[in-house]
A and B are shown apart, each in its own frame.
Chain A
Amino acid sequence: MKAAVIVFPGSNCDRDVQVALQNRMGTAPHMVWHRETTLPKTDLIVLPGGFSYGDYLRCGAMAANSPIMRAVIAAAQAGTPVLGICNGFQILIEAGLLPGALMRNRNLKFICKDVHLRVETTDSIFTNRFNNGEIIKIPVAHHDGNYFADDETVKRLKGEGQIVLRYCDNEGETTDVANINGSASNIAGIINEERRIFGLMPHPERVIEPLHRGTHGAMIFDSLMEALA
């Protein structure tokens, strides 16, 4: 199993996810520069976190138009799984691979902290190692993670089980206080209809070993490992 990590100018979690993939999957991923136009043979595409193009204009907007994204979109449409973390999630949305928009956090501040998340579906290649409704802890670090979509879209996401992770408190309640950035329905991560493209604001690559004070992030990579092996 071999992944490809796309590196945009301004990506800064590319190494972290490279290390996490190597750690969990035993194989170093391809690192693909955004100006490439073709992808190497790969079982998984990862769009890492960071500040592609400095987050100028809108987070992810310019990266979504990078040369490599045509190949990414084509591969995604052909069924290659795609994982977008933080800025990667923003890019997936700007590229139209996932619905909605990610806006400035409700309190207008960058937020870096551990957050509790409720696993809303285990019916995905990204979350099959969790239990339904499991409460997990993964850090966030973003300025623009406030998920927005019109009511109809949110309803559809709910109905189709496309909401994967929701911000919650330590008891699993998806309260307004636990909704750190003001996202619609406390949404922290969503998956596309075909359940192959997953975008999330939290950073699983930052919690893969006990020294990180948590290993729930590893479970996402382990789920992929199990599903794709």
Chain B
Amino acid sequence: MKARVHVTLKNGVLDPQGKAVHHALQGLGFAGVEDVRQGKFIELELDGTDVEKARNDVTEMCEKLLANTVIENYDIDIVA
């Protein structure tokens, strides 16, 4: 079983990396980009089969380590 975690900056938190990417894209002529937010993607290989337990475990991992909930949101996707 795999868990896929997306960690993104909360709205309103300045994202200098996203801003720089946006700027670079504009420089390359991609005019249609309105905003860029950069985040992290973390893939976990889990040994159990219980999807609910996995979700709870990964949520705890996010709260404790994977995300900094002061500035970041996270989104968990369990792939059986």
Contact = CB atoms under 8 A, between A and B. Distances in A.
Q: Do A and B touch directly, given a CB cutoff of 8 Å in the complex?
A: yes
Interface of A: 57-58, 61-62, 65, 94, 99-101, 103-108, 146, 148-149, 182
A65 B68 CA distance: 13
B16 A105 contact: yes
A101 B17 contact: no
B10 to A, nearest CB: 10
A148 B66 contact: no
A100 B13 CA distance: 12
Given A57-B66, A100-B70, 4 more contacts: A101-B71, A103-B71, A105-B16, A148-B70
Contacts of A182: 14, 16
A106 B13 contact: no
A61 B68 contact: yes
A107 B20 CA distance: 9
Contacts of A65: 64-65
- Chain B interface size, as a band, is 10 to 19
B16 A108 contact: yes
B68 A104 contact: no
B20 A108 contact: yes
A148 B20 contact: no
A57 B71 CA distance: 14
Contacts of A149: 70
Contact of B68 (A58, A99, A106): A58
Contacts of A61: 65, 68
Interface string B67-79: 0101100000000
Nearest to A153: B70
B14 to A, nearest CB: 7
Interface string B8-24: 00000110110010000
A182 B71 CA distance: 16
